[in-house]
Amino acid sequence: MRLLIQRVTEASVTIEGRVHSEIGKGLMVLVGIEEADTQEDIDWLTGKLLRLRIFDDEAGVMNLDVQQVGGEVMVVSQFTLHASTKKGNRPSYFRAAGEAISRPMYEKFVASVEQALGKKVATGEFGADMKVALVNDGPVTIWIDSRNRE
């Protein structure tokens, strides 16, 4: 499971010209799921996401997590995080799990983040053609892969 996390001042998802969800200050999280992902990946990534100290403290040092700043979280499914560009110029998505696996895993990840955060998480709509808008604050962008726990 892969997360692309962006610290934002605001983010929104629009579907068919209508705002589906939006957040203010917080984290915009794109999540990619592969077939081998398990509940262990969800648990580990939920903890990493919510404890990631990428918000400034009073001294301007990135020392606070999203909960400490009262931030919001948006989670959007994005299979293209598993793109392989090793061969040719057209990305291959063979590592991305199909909907039968990825939809329930995405829903479990959202529920896990909500439970740990103690509040509702904004989402996209699985499988929809979404327009995602955000203002990346910093910019701060972090990539985390549960298969490569650095």
Sign of CA dihedral 23, 145, 106, 16: positive
Please state, in angstroms and rounded to a whole number, the distance separating the CA atoms of residues 74 and 132.
11
Give the Cβ contact number of residue 19 at 10 Å. 11
- Residue in 38, 39, 68, 80 annotated catalytic: 80
Q: Phi/psi class of residue 103: alpha, beta or left (left: φ > 0; alpha: ψ in -120 to 50)?
A: alpha
Residue 110: CA atoms inside 13 Å, Cβ hemisphere, count?
Answer: 20
Give the list of residues 6+ apart from residue 58 with CB closer than 8 angstroms, or none.
Answer: none
**Is 78 a known active-site residue?**
yes
- Residue in 6, 46, 78, 123 annotated catalytic: 78
- Residue in 55, 79, 109, 123 annotated catalytic: 79
Q: Please list the residues that pair with 8 across neighbouring strands.
A: 26, 136
**Is 80 a known active-site residue?**
yes
Give the catalytic positions in this structure: 78-80
